[in-house]
Amino acid sequence: MTEKVLTSGDISEIEKAYQHFPLRSAACIEGLKIIQKNHRWVSDDAVKELAELLEMSPAAIDSIATYYSLIFRKPVGRHVIMVCDSVSCWIMGYEGILNHLKNRLNIGYGETTQEDRFTLLSICCLGTCDHAPAIMINNDLHRDLTPDKLDAILETYK
Amino acid sequence: MYPINDNIEKPLTQHIKNDGSWLTLKEYESTGGYQALKKALQMKPAEIIQVVLDSGLKGRGGAGFPTGKKWSTIDISENASSIKYLVANADEMEPGSFKDRFLLEGNPHQLIEGIIIGAYAIQASFSYIFLRWAYHLAGKALTQSIQEAYDAGYLGKNIGGSGFNLDMSLHISVGRYMCGEETALLNALEGKRSNPRAKPPYPSNSGLFGKPTIVNNVETLSNVPHIIMKGANWFMNLSKTGEGGTKLYGASGKVKSPGLWELPLGISLRELLEDYAGGMADGYRFKGVLPGGGSTDFLVEEHLDVAMDYASVAKAGSRLGTGTIIVLDDKTCPVGMVHNLERFFAQESCGWCTPCREGLPWTAKILYALETGAGKTEDLNILEFHTHYMAPGNTFCALAPGAMEPLQSALKYFKADFEMHIHQHKCPWNS
């Protein structure tokens, strides 16, 4: 048997999560969140191990993992940049921000820069439309963006 | 929020601070917070439902269903299920909407108090706040505030010596616009994909884990303590048009001062656009507006004097929705704007029912073709067909019919612009 992905710490967190629910399977999303929090992304092996823990099939877990846009089934970098591409940001010119990011980082959507520094993704409306265009980097919201501002912001994520 | 000294009563937002920090329990109590809960616990649950019914409060999430009516569908007799749930829908993901964020980040206890009163009214013993992932600051504010409410005895066992017990848990979601639909939200809370459920049974009969459940929007619940404290008449008189209450209105797009304002329900679109949003930004002219988020019909110049309340906006052919307007200017392509919206809806369709799963990507592809100069005359008929094919009643939930609202109204008001794309084989705005 190869080495397990889930640590004993992960497992106890997941066990704690499903105790709140009438069914273990109800903790599926919580379980995926816990794995991602501790490992940055959810690998195939992690899906299988979670399935065993929650008494579900790996396919059932994966149908949920691939459905939710913020569960990452591929490796991501240390910093995940999420560019709002919804209507108010579109009107306010998010495409300029996106092109600047793509050129600067030399990656497209879904790709990660060398040395795993940044991953570039899109996200739907961030709910800060009076300050469009906006992006999130990890848990941080950045608003009223211009390409110049963006360069200074990127520098703060090493 | 931009403070404007207009002497308008603003129960929801008047105490929210300007420094980006939320009201702590102590600060909330010093503004009269949790007095409404104390008053409510002296009332009978049915009395609370009656007051909310009389106040005229309508669901602020977008659908506008009367809150008291929703609550009164729950069986609170002794024969009722002993387990019931109240869920606050804080999954604000309607494109162009940013109103619940302000309440969550600024005054979390106001929401929590509203939930406790609502839960008491329907005799629920457990409550959830369903929060979208992107609202991190709100997540912090709610986590701390729920703990404060437990420590102060506003949550937990025997609240205020009343014998009423209530627990509260914060659920942080992992994306998907579909989670805002109330039955889909319940599936997500159960750890499943957020596909919608067939109605009936309605959640008030069989909701979360098969138990009676009520789902209410953040702004809706935040109004409840004020209604209990000051009464149905006071609430009714806040509005300009007899639908009750204030409303958080917002504006985004090429206006001078994009922002968010709490105003009497029923101010005119013109007042909102000109007096609060400051009119169009320099060099831009007004072309149209989505009055309540991405899934509402365009209104145009002739509608500027429409009152922004549920009935008036409906009469004008659209929906008040979330009350956050998205302004279309003359230098932005209406076809491009509708393409952006349909691409969003196509991406966010859960794929559960065929018209939505297949129809939305089809419309998005046609709009893309128009934008890139590959549009054909018959495309307009295909788009028109889809607005009927995905009309209310033909799909499982309201996502696809909502998605058709901006499209059908754009075809109505901006038909010439669509035709220009076809005749010129390009987007005239993108030369």
What pLDDT score does B431 carry? 61
Q: Which residue of A has its CA nearest to B251?
A: A130
Of the pLDDT bands very low, low, confident and very high (cuts 50, 70, 90), residue A3 is confident
Kindly state whether A63 is in contact with chain B, defined as any CB-CB distance less than 8 angstroms. Answer: yes
Alpha carbon distance B426, B431 (integer Å) = 8
The predicted-structure confidence for B18-75, as pLDDT tens digits, reads as follows 999 999 999 999 999 999 999 999 999 999 999 999 999 999 998 899 999 999 999 9
Range in A11-25, B113-127, B167-181 with the lowest mean pLDDT? A11-25
Asked if residue B3 has pLDDT above 60, the reply is no
Residue type for position B112: I
B interface test, pick of A41, A61, A86, A135 with most B CB neighbours within 10 Å: A86
Of the pLDDT bands very low, low, confident and very high (cuts 50, 70, 90), residue B242 is confident
Sheet order of strands, B213-217 included: B167-172, B126-131, B85-90, B213-217
Asked if residue B187 has pLDDT above 90, the reply is yes
DSSP H helices in B107-168: 108-122, 136-151
What pLDDT score does A22 carry? 81
* Nearest-by-Cβ selection for A125 from B95, B250, B290: B95
**DSSP reduced 3-state for B58:** strand
Q: Which of B306, B319, B290, B232 is nearest to B414 (CA)?
A: B290
Mean pLDDT, residues B217-243: 96
Q: Which residue of B has its CA nearest to A71?
A: B174
CB contact under 8 A, B192 and A64: yes
How far does B215 lie from chain A, in Å, by closest CA?
Answer: 19
β pairing state of B246-253 and B259-264: antiparallel
The predicted-structure confidence for A25-49, as pLDDT tens digits, reads as follows 999 999 999 999 999 999 999 999 9
Kindly state whether A123 is in contact with chain B, defined as any CB-CB distance less than 8 angstroms. Answer: yes
Asked if residue B296 has pLDDT above 70, the reply is yes
B161's CB contacts (< 8 A; 6+ apart) are none
* Nearest-by-Cβ selection for B95 from A25, A69, A124: A124
3-state helix, strand, coil in chain B (%, to 5): 45, 15, 40
Q: How many residues does chain B have?
A: 431
Structural contact between residues B229 and B241, judged by C-beta atoms closer than 8 angstroms: no
The predicted-structure confidence for B345-375, as pLDDT tens digits, reads as follows 999 999 999 999 999 999 999 999 999 999 9
Q: Which of B305, B334, B343, B340 is nearest to B413 (CA)?
A: B334
Q: Is the peptide bond before B392 cis (omega within 30 degrees of 0)?
A: no
Of the pLDDT bands very low, low, confident and very high (cuts 50, 70, 90), residue B79 is confident
**DSSP reduced 3-state for A20:** coil
Q: Domains (ranges, CATH) in chain A?
A: 8-65 (1.10.10), 79-155 (3.40.30.10)
Q: Which of B172, B71, B88 is nearest to B122 (CA)?
A: B71
A20's CB contacts (< 8 A; 6+ apart) are A27, B169
Cβ count within 10 A of residue B21: 13
Radius of gyration from C-alpha coordinates of chain A: 18
Q: Inter-axis angle of helices B354-371 and B334-348, to 10 degrees?
A: 150
Residue type for position B365: K
Q: Domains (ranges, CATH) in chain B?
A: 25-238 (3.40.50.11540), 267-325 (3.10.20.600), 334-424 (1.20.1440.230)
What pLDDT score does A1 carry? 56
What pLDDT score does A107 carry? 97
Structural contact between residues A144 and A128, judged by C-beta atoms closer than 8 angstroms: no
Of the pLDDT bands very low, low, confident and very high (cuts 50, 70, 90), residue B7 is confident
DSSP H helices in B123-241: 136-151, 182-189, 218-230, 232-238
Mean pLDDT, residues B116-131: 97
Residue B360 host element (H or E): helix B354-371
CB contact under 8 A, A68 and B175: yes
Structural contact between residues B252 and B96, judged by C-beta atoms closer than 8 angstroms: yes
Cβ count within 10 A of residue A144: 13
Residue type for position B347: Q
Sheet order of strands, B246-253 included: B259-264, B246-253, B324-329, B286-290
DSSP H helices in A40-79: 44-54, 58-65
β pairing state of A135-137 and A140-142: antiparallel
Mean pLDDT, residues B207-234: 97
> Positive or negative CA dihedral for B40, B43, B49, B52?
negative
Alpha carbon distance A77, A116 (integer Å) = 4
Alpha carbon distance A69, A63 (integer Å) = 12
Mean pLDDT, residues A115-138: 97
Of the pLDDT bands very low, low, confident and very high (cuts 50, 70, 90), residue B408 is very high
Residues of B in contact with A125 (CB under 8 A): 93-97, 294, 344
Enter the ipTM: 0.96
Q: At which residue do the structure tokens 């608003």 appear?
A: A143
Alpha carbon distance B24, B141 (integer Å) = 9
- What the block records as the tokens of B369 is 């073709």
- What the block records as the tokens of A54 is 């929650």
Alpha carbon distance A113, B203 (integer Å) = 46
Alpha carbon distance A42, A33 (integer Å) = 9
Asked if residue A13 has pLDDT above 60, the reply is yes
Mean pLDDT, residues B172-193: 96
What pLDDT score does B78 carry? 85
Alpha carbon distance B161, B236 (integer Å) = 32
Alpha carbon distance B121, B405 (integer Å) = 35
Structural contact between residues A134 and A142, judged by C-beta atoms closer than 8 angstroms: yes
- Average predicted confidence (pLDDT) for chain B: 96
Mean pLDDT, residues A150-156: 95
Q: How many residues does chain A have?
A: 158
**DSSP reduced 3-state for B53:** helix
